Amino acid sequence: MEESEQELRHAFDRLPAPASLKRKIMARRRGAAQQLSFPLFAWRGLAASIVSVSLCILAALVIYGDYQWREAEQRRKGEEARRQVLLALRITNHALDHMNKQFAANGRAHHE
């Protein structure tokens, strides 16, 4: 048992850190700080998101505008058809009145 205890104690003995360890850690911290102060990829992601959202809004506005234009066009066509029907009814009414007057005149002429 003594041998395994000694191996275990030896494994837990403090060893001095390599001389380059502090330099490497500090270099990594500076690199991390520089990345945090100018997150280029974060700005690119944000810009891409803004462009994507803008394009979606633009597409929605175009689709909505097209819908509104088609609806207005249908309304205009419907109103034009209504005007044509009313004109046709007035012409028909005028023709029927004229024919009724002629029938009435012919009927009076036969009775006399």
In a domain, 5, yes or no: no
Residue 89: its pLDDT value, please? 97
Query: Has residue 64 been placed in a domain?
Result: yes
Q: What is the pLDDT of residue 41?
A: 60
User: DSSP string covering 34-59, please?
Assistant: HHHHS-HHHHHHHHHHHHHHHHHHHH
DSSP state of 1: -
**Whole-structure pTM value:** 0.44
Give the range of the structural domain holding residue 71, as residue numbers without chain letter: 21-111
> What's the total number of domains in the chain?
1
Local confidence pLDDT in tens for the 112 residues of the chain: 688 888 878 777 787 888 888 888 888 887 766 655 556 566 778 888 999 999 999 999 999 999 999 999 999 999 999 999 999 999 999 999 999 999 888 877 665 5
Give domain status of residue 27, yes or no: yes
